[in-house]
Amino acid sequence: TPMNCSNGPDGAISLSVSGASGQLAYSWSGPEGAISQHSAQLSGLGAGNYCATVTDGMYG
The pLDDT tens digits for 4-53 are 666 678 899 999 999 888 899 999 999 999 999 999 999 999 989 999 99
* Number of domains making up the chain: 1
Q: Supply the range of the domain harboring residue 30.
A: 11-15+23-56
Residue 57 to residue 11: CA distance in whole angstroms: 28
Residue 27 to residue 37: CA distance in whole angstroms: 8
Residue 6 lies in a domain: no
In this prediction, residue 6 carries a pLDDT of: 64
In this prediction, residue 5 carries a pLDDT of: 61
Residue 56 to residue 17: CA distance in whole angstroms: 10
In this prediction, residue 57 carries a pLDDT of: 83
Residue 3 in this model has a pLDDT that exceeds 60: no
Residue 27 lies in a domain: yes
In this prediction, residue 58 carries a pLDDT of: 74
Write down the number of H helices and E strands in the chain: 0, 5
State the pTM of this model: 0.77
